[in-house]
């Protein structure tokens, strides 16, 4: 692993030196254009439309095409390698070197149905040592709510994964029922294989999507129209356009008028997984914590213990447990191994003193019944989409 990292760092240093030499040879007359490009690259606060416009202005202002193509190539390489933070975006002094990430590979048995029993509960155990420094310090470790990894807050800061705005959130939620996802589980794009990532990159390139850029509603709808036309060779129906608009607003919970790049990338990643991989392969991505949470959800809905729930109850679970965890500040005395859903008797089961509405038993008899395997297949994509810490809804459930 260390050899791979040193080679990658060496390549990056060589690229930076090559860019510097090229800029020096070009002369002083091209420095203003280079400065504008550097400022745009570090800010990364504009929308996709603004970045495209800036790129067109620079192209008409002067040469420096080799440097622009090299920077663009570096951005796509970071996307391919699953690196969401550019090395220039924060000071690397006194920081740990992030581990090299290797994308997963598909196995021959992935498409076979996994054996996930409803009756056989799984014992949830977290790692005893910090994933980064491999040191055990008991209660000061922050557990991931998806995988068994645990972390020190100081190690996360030195890795650059815990900034000032997110430090309080991690501290307050890591030991609650809401939980916190580590930097591995928070990024849905890391679930893609190299082949799947290459397919997504080709789609983004063909639609002129710039890595790191925010997207407005017009940008998002234009992208969805292009993807639909490429896939089906016809215009996207109005009903699907309305659904895409709902998805945009779900990705913009704070109503900023745009969606962040990481939320857009997670949404597109889970969409691609749904299209390419069969449900059995998606089920194999679930961790023991997620499977145990799904068991608790199913058993809570199966009030008569016959092994079946109604279709409406299945949708209810999709809109509550697996849509997105609510950011409620619960007691930090909750066990770090607790991964069950927010049930009726839990501290977070009500808001403002009001209990959630109960589904009448007659509903299950009137609707199509769903067993445990069907429940998992119907909800697996939403379980995976609930992994990121972002408040955005990366997979909008159908009404």
Partnered with residue 150 across adjacent β-strands are: 143
Enter the pTM of the model. 0.71
**What are the tens digits of pLDDT across the range 60-72?**
444 444 444 676 7
Give the helix/strand (H/E) hosting 370. strand 369-371
Q: Is the dihedral of CA 182, 186, 190, 191 positive or negative?
A: positive
Low-confidence ranges of the chain (pLDDT < 70): 1-69, 71, 82-100, 138-139, 163-167, 322-367, 399
Give the helix/strand (H/E) hosting 55. helix 48-61
d(CA 212, CA 51): 10
**What are the tens digits of pLDDT across the range 286-337?**
999 999 999 999 999 998 888 899 988 888 888 777 666 554 433 333 333 3
**What are the tens digits of pLDDT across the range 197-244?**
999 999 999 999 988 889 999 999 999 999 999 989 999 999 999 999
Residue recorded with tokens 């581990």 = 99
Range 210-213, long-range pairs (CB < 8 A, 24+ positions): 210/48, 210/51, 210/52, 210/55, 210/75, 211/75, 211/76, 211/78, 211/79, 211/261, 212/44, 212/75, 212/261, 213/44, 213/46, 213/47, 213/48, 213/51, 213/261
| pLDDT for res 32 | 45
Is there a contact between 170 and 332 (Cβ–Cβ < 8 Å)? no
d(CA 38, CA 23): 12
| pLDDT for res 51 | 54
Task: Give me the phi and psi of 301, to 5 degrees please.
Answer: -85, -30
Q: Which two tokens stand for residue 342?
A: 């927010």
Q: Is the dihedral of CA 352, 354, 355, 358 positive or negative?
A: negative
| pLDDT for res 80 | 74
In order of their start, the domains of the chain are: 122-186 (3.30.40.10), 277-324+368-398 (no CATH)
Rounded mean pLDDT of the chain? 75
Is there a contact between 203 and 227 (Cβ–Cβ < 8 Å)? yes
Is there a contact between 266 and 99 (Cβ–Cβ < 8 Å)? no
| pLDDT for res 69 | 64
């Amino acid at each position: 692993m260390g050899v791979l990292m040193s080679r990658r760092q060496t390549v990056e240093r060589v690229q930076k030196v090559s860019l510097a030499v090229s800029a020096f040879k070009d002369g002083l007359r091209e420095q203003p254009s280079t400065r504008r490009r550097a400022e745009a690259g570090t800010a990364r606060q504009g929308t996709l439309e603004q970045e495209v416009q800036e790129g067109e202005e620079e192209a008409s202002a002067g040469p420096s095409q080799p440097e622009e193509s090299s920077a663009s190539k570096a951005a796509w390489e970071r996307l391919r390698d699953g690196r969401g933070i550019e090395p220039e975006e924060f000071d690397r002094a006194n920081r740990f070197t992030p581990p090299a990430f290797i994308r997963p590979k598909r196995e021959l048995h992935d498409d076979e149905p996994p054996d996930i029993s409803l009756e056989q509960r799984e014992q949830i155990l977290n790692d005893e040592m910090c994933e980064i420094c491999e040191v055990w310090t008991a209660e000061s470790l922050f557990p991931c709510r998806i995988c068994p990894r645990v972390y020190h807050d100081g190690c996360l800061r030195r890795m650059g994964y815990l900034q000032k705005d997110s430090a309080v959130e991690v501290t307050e939620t890591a030991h609650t029922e809401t939980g916190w996802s580590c930097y591995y589980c928070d990024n849905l794009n890391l679930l893609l294989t190299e082949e799947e990532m290459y397919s997504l990159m080709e789609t983004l390139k063909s639609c002129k999507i710039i890595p790191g850029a925010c997207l407005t509603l017009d940008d998002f709808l234009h992208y969805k129209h292009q993807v639909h036309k490429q896939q089906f060779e016809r215009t996207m129906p109005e009903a699907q356009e309305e659904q895409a608009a709902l998805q945009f607003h779900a990705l913009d919970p704070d109503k900023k008028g745009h969606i962040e790049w990481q939320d857009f990338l997670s949404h597109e990643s889970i969409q691609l997984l749904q299209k390419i991989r069969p449900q059995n392969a998606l089920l194999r991505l679930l961790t023991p914590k997620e499977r145990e949470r799904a068991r608790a959800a199913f058993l809570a809905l199966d009030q008569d213990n016959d092994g079946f729930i109604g279709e409406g109850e299945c949708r209810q679970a999709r809109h509550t447990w697996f849509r997105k965890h609510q950011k409620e500040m619960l007691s930090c005395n909750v066990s770090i191994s607790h991964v069950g859903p927010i049930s009726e008797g839990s501290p977070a089961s009500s808001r403002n003193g009001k209990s959630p509405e109960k589904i009448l038993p007659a509903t299950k008899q009137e609707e199509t019944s769903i067993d445990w395997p069907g429940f998992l297949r119907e909800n697996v994509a939403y379980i995976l989409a609930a992994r990121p810490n972002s408040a955005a809804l990366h997979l909008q459930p159908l009404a």
